[in-house]
Structures are given as structure tokens and as C-alpha cells.
Amino acid sequence: MQHRYFILIFFHLTFGIQAQLFINEIQAANHTTITDEDGDYEDWIELYNNSSIAVNVGGWYLSDKDHTPKMWSLPDTTIPAKGFLLIWASGKDRKKGHLHTNFRISSEGEPILLTSSEGITFNRLPPVKLQPNESYGRVPDGGHQLETFHTATPGSTNAIDGTAPVLVSLMFDQPQGYQAEDFTVNIISTRKAQIHYTLDGSTPTPTSPIFNESIEVTSLEGTPNVYADIPSGHSSRFWKKPMGEVPKIRVIRARPFVENKAVGPEIQGSFWTGHHNPENLDIPIVSFMIHPDHFFDYKEGIYVPGIDYDSLEIPNSWRRGRQTEKPANFSYFDENGELALQQNIGVRINGGGTRNAGQKSLRLYARNEYGPNTFNYPFFEERSNHHYRRLLLNTTQGDYSFTLFKDELTTNIVKPLDLEYQAFRPVLVFLNGEYWALHFLKERRDQHYIAALIDDKPDNINQLYRYNAASHGSNDHYLRFLNELGSMEANDPGIVDMMEKYIEVDNYIDYQIVQIFLANYDWPHNNIDWWRTNDANSRWRWIFYDLDASFRKYALDNVTTYFRAHDPEQDRPEWSYVTMRKLMANPQFRKRFHDRFYQLMQGVLSTENLLAEIEKMRALIEPYVDDYVYRWRIPSSVTEWKENVRSLETFAQLRPHEIHNMLKRNMRKPFNMYPNPGEHIIHLQWATHPGTEIDVKVFDMSGRSIHVPINNKTFEDVPAITLNVANLQSGVYIIRVRMGQFYFNEKWIKK
């Protein structure tokens, strides 16, 4: 009996000691708090022994899944009395030296469990969403009160002093976005703190105004422009002052302070009334907030000509690299006016010549140091990927013709083809509360973009640009292709088969054709990217992008250049033509290229299709053109814009026949006719787009139409026909073939 009592007492003592083990603090978005032994900022879990004796936790378990409490077992480890044990939630799974679990913690929130070797879960922290460098834990150590800490304390006490590491959270009492009537916004705090705020996009500091009463939200009509009147281009060619006051929204940035020390994260809000009612809009609104100095300061600002232009005649906006990246806040309101996404991001100027423009393109970065490391939203309906590392907020001023949508138009045209392209959607932008007008939100073209398209890892991507240079990965595989191509004679019938080992030839041909047809003047020496993965069977594919310089010169002969020697006085750099010149000299490739060209000109590149796509984009953009002209004065009027759009229609009507003539001058006809001479029958074969109307007629040399018994006069989806010409007399005839809008004549001799 005495022995039984001893066992019972021992069990209660052991159980009681174990019950004094706590998950004391966790961090799920460790950006700058503490590094592990590898120098990595990993998530971590802190255990605390609240008992008066040391406790061995060997065989205990940690987990981030309620249904799998025994996810990761602790090794033979002792936590001293009133002591701490720091465990990295890194996924590295190490049990010697520094301890690392086999899982990570989601900053969006998931439970953390501590379970004994007997399978009893002694401790559980509920899911909590944490911002960068925040932690979550117990106050006091081992206590039952749970708090979010503004200052993490890994491996040490969570005690609260006068300035308290406990996070002070702020929130607005009104939903962000549009309301039909004037309203007021209050800022609510979870704890006592002094709230400082700004209304001009600048970062709140202890010297900013103190929030004491509601902030009014009115139409702001009559409020003078601030940022819109700052010249963002170095001459009137690039920037013109708006015609008057631009629409404005109320932007609020606020942060809590105690004794001039920040004790919680900043909040940002965008509110408006009186204009841009979502019921009258079909496109989203982006509110973009950034400290004014980052964009508009003479020395620091990356959106203005600034000191660099005055000293070097190269604007500040041409600065590049990570060192030019600025912190900002990005808010995305969907077509219904609902706030769909808001997060802190990094931003740089993007592009080439548009860095001189008044309205510039911005490259948007999701990074852990700002907040979430992805933009988690389905911006583009044709994409299954809803997680973007980088985005572009693209200017409309790259369009050489000032139709405001040319690059996007060409993207829509090629979407049915097997080409990579940048998905986009039009948005209206407010910068620090002032109207910045129409932009296009786009995918950013890089290894992350490609990896998302094919559901792969960015490290597995090789991406090249311009003169075979690698922007990511290696160019070795492509250089092997060039070497093998260079070693072969141009007329070698094996060239196309060799190409197939390295390149997706159909993709390459379509890419070349659409660039040539659309008369992209800023190509092929520029704006050329192609990619493959590291997988052994992966082949190179080309990315279609940046055709702002296209759709202008309908008579531009950019075909003949591939059939003559390089002319340094007229041509772009020789490297940009050399591969296609070699391929065009190969009969097999040339036929394949030529036949595909006619297929596309009777499909996606037909006048009918081009005009339809122009009309779709015109209808989408036209409601926002008047405000755009008022804001940027480029083009100078809506009338001028309409004329610019008509120039696209002119191109669509005239370009196919110009290309037709170029192909006839330099290449074969798109059909074969045999035998020639012949006697009783003529065989015709052609390459055309499915559904193209085909018409065949026979004429004598005087131009008189000859009746010939033909099975059909119009052929749909038929790759070949046979003509019975047994009743024709011996002599010379003209066979005329109409393929859609194109006519071809060929002499035929009857024996």
C-alpha cells in the first residue's frame, strides 16, 4: 500500500512540473530581430520552465497542426528552473547544437502546440497574424494573459516596463474607400498611447500632429495641387502642368507613440467622397502612399529630374538598383470599391525611356522587410497564380502614338498564341491622395513570373536578354545551340531538326512573326527575353512584351533585312539579325516560317481581328481619357486621342498587304502546284488558317476565265485540292488562288 502511495505522489509531482512548461513567446515574421547560426532570420519558439527545478523535455513534441501534435520531437534537452529554451521554427530539422523544427510558422496565423511524450498537449497558442518583427506570448512569463509584442524578447523575460514592449494597435472606425456623403474618421487604439498622424503621405513621427478629434472626409474640391504641380519631367515635352485642380482623396497615416517612442505599427487609410464613385467605374483604384521626399525631393527623389539632371543632365529617375528602392504603402480597391489588398512594399522606377516621362512606371516589391513577401490577390483573371513577388504599375506614356493602350492592345492580340506575355489590367492611381490617372497593373517579367506560370521554382529558371546575356541562371545551353547552328551550312536540311533539340521552334517562329508584322521599331536589338528551365528536356521559349513602339509604320519593311548582308548604316546591331538571317537561308525553315506567317495573317493578325481588338481596348479606356488629358495634357485633347486610335485602325487595314508584298518579294508563294507542266490534273496544297476562304480560278493568257470542272469553288479547312483540267487545250494558263484577302498568280503549262 505504501509503495502505491509513493507512485501516486511521484506521478502528481511529475505531472505538476510538466504543467509548468509553457510556450512563452513565438515570432513568425522575424526580419531583423535575431539570426540563427547560419545568419538567417528564421521564425522561433521560446519555451519557459516556470517550475523551481530543471525539466528534461526529451521526447516532447512541437507542432503547428492541431491534427498532428507529434510533428517534431525534442532531443534530450534540459530547461533550467525559471529558464528559457529557444527553438528555431526554420524547417531545417536539426537536433544537435542549435535546435530547429521541421516546420515554419505562418505569419498569417496557425496554432503552436507543446505535447508531452505521453501524447498530452499541455500548451497551445492560438493562431495570430503577426506583422514583421512582432512576437506573441505570455505576460508575465508563464502567465495566462497573451499579448502581441512590438519588441520581441527571444530567450529573455516578457516583463512589461514603463514603455511596454506590448504592441499598441490602431484601427480606423470607418471602412476605407468611397462613401456617398461627407463623413468623419476616428482612430481607435487598443491601449493608451499618443497617436501622431499625417495627411500628406509623409511618415508619422513624434513631431507630427496629435490625433485628438475626428478627421473630416469631404470632396476636397478647392484644395490646391501639391504633388501634381511638381515637374516630374525635365522639359515640356515630357511634363506639363495639369489644366487645374486634380481630384483628391483623403490619405491618413498614423502611428502610436509613448514618450516619443513608437510602440506599434503604422496604419494607412484612403477615404473619399464626391468623385470616383465605384458605381460609375469599371476598373480598380490604387491608392499609393510614399513619403514625399522619396519621390519629389531635389536630392533624394526618384520621380523628378532633381540634382542629377542639373549636374549630369540625367534625371534622378534614371537611378537604378536596390539602393534606390523606397518604402511605400499599396492599397488596391476592386471594381466594386472594396479594399481588396493593402500592404507595405518597396518601390523603384521601372523602364527605359519612360523614366523621362511625367507619368512613370513603378516596380513594386513584396518583401519580408516591409510586410508579406507576396501580393496575395487574383489580379489577373487568366492566371491561376494568385501570389506575386513583384508587380508593375505601368505608365501609359510609353506609347509612342499616345493611344494610351498600344502595348496592352498587342498583348491581347497575341493571347491566343503559345507565347508568354504579361497579364495586365487598367487601374486609376492616386499618389499621396492626388490623382495620377490611368495606369496598367502588370506582371513583372522575371524568374518569379516564369516560375509561377509553369509551377516551378525560380532557382530552376534560366532567363536571357539582348545579346544572349543571362538576367537569371545560365546562357550555356543557348550558346551551345548557336555554336551548333554556326557549324552547319545554311542549306543543311537538318537545321530545323537540330533547332528542335534546343528551341521550341513553333514558339520562336510565332514570336518573330508577330514582332515583324506589328512593326516593332524598338526590336530586335532591344526588348527581347527568352527562357528555359534546367530540366534536361526543357527548350528555349520567347516572351512577348513592350510593343509601345509598334503599330505605327505600316509600310516598314522589316522582312527584306533577313535576306541581304548586314548594313551597319541602316541595320540594328548585327547580333540581333544574325540568327534569323542564317535560318531564312534554310529552305525548310523558310517554308515553315512563310506558311505560318500567312496562317497568322488570316487569323489573329487579320485586319478583321485587329480592328475588333482595337475596338475592345478603345471602349475600355475611353471613359477615362478626358480625365487623363486634364491631368497630363498628353495627348493634348480627346479629339487628338481619337485621331491616334484611328491611326491604329489604318495600320490594321494596310499592314497585311504591305507584309504580303514583302513576303512575295523575298520568299515563296504559300501554296504548291504540281505537276507543272502537266496534262489532266493539277494538285494544289497550301498552308492557311483554319476557316480561311479559298477560291481557285483558271485564266488563259488573254485574261479570260476558263470554265473548269472543280469539286468545290470555295474550300473551308481543306489543306489540298485536285483540279481536273483534262478538257483544256495545250498552252499556258494562269492559276489564281485567293486565300482570304490575298491573291496569288502562278503560270501553268498544259502539255
What does the pLDDT look like over 274-320, one tens digit per residue? 999 999 999 999 999 999 999 999 999 999 999 999 999 999 999 99
What does the pLDDT look like over 196-213, one tens digit per residue? 999 999 999 999 999 999
Span 516-535, mean pLDDT? 96
The helix (run of H) or strand (run of E) holding residue 640 is helix 638-666
Percent of the chain with pLDDT over 70: 94
Task: Please list the alpha-helical segments (H only) found in 54-192.
Answer: none
Closest C-alpha among 694, 700, 704 to residue 743: 694
Task: Please list the alpha-helical segments (H only) found in 561-622.
Answer: 575-584, 587-601, 607-621
What does the pLDDT look like over 97-115, one tens digit per residue? 899 999 999 888 899 999 9
Half-sphere exposure at residue 268, Cβ-oriented, CA atoms within 13 angstroms: 25
Res. 609: pLDDT tops 90: yes
CA–CA separation, 681 vs 726, rounded Å? 7
What does the pLDDT look like over 244-276, one tens digit per residue? 999 999 999 999 998 888 888 899 999 999 999
Judged by DSSP in three states, 177 sits in strand
- Rg of the Cα atoms in the chain: 34
Q: What domains can you pick out in the chain, each with its CATH number?
A: 2-149 (2.60.40.1260), 170-375 (no CATH), 447-666 (no CATH), 671-750 (2.60.40.10)
**Do the Cβ atoms of 225 and 245 come closer than 8 Å?**
yes
Closest C-alpha among 398, 382, 389 to residue 439: 398
The helix (run of H) or strand (run of E) holding residue 185 is strand 183-185
CA–CA separation, 644 vs 361, rounded Å? 22
What does the pLDDT look like over 3-57, one tens digit per residue? 444 444 444 444 455 668 999 999 998 888 898 998 888 999 999 999 989 999 9
Which pLDDT band, with edges at 50, 70 and 90, does 665 fall under?
confident
Q: What is the pLDDT of residue 711?
A: 45
* Amino acid (1-letter code) at residue 360: K
Q: At what angle do helices 587-601 and 495-502 cross, to 10 degrees?
A: 70
Q: With the C-alpha atoms ordered 466, 467, 468, 473, is the resulting torsion angle positive or negative?
A: negative
Q: What residues have CB less than 8 Å from 672, skipping those under 6 apart? A: 683, 684, 685, 686
Q: What is the pLDDT of residue 617?
A: 98
* Amino acid (1-letter code) at residue 228: A
**Which pTM does this prediction carry?**
0.80
Give the pairing type, strands 420-421 and 541-544: parallel
Q: What is the pLDDT of residue 177?
A: 98
Give the pairing type, strands 170-172 and 135-139: unpaired
**Do the Cβ atoms of 590 and 670 come closer than 8 Å?**
no
Res. 692: pLDDT tops 90: no
More confident: 473 or 666: 473
Half-sphere exposure at residue 429, Cβ-oriented, CA atoms within 13 angstroms: 26
Res. 737: pLDDT tops 90: no
Mean pLDDT of the chain: 91
Res. 195: pLDDT tops 50: yes
Span 536-554, mean pLDDT? 96
Q: What residues have CB less than 8 Å from 231, skipping those under 6 apart? A: 239, 241, 304, 305, 358
Q: With the C-alpha atoms ordered 281, 287, 292, 298, is the resulting torsion angle positive or negative?
A: negative
Least confident among 362-371, 575-584, 648-657, 686-695: 686-695
Q: What is the pLDDT of residue 691?
A: 65
The C-alpha cell of 52 is what?
523551481
The 10 Å Cβ neighbour count of residue 361 is 22
Residue 210 DSSP label: B
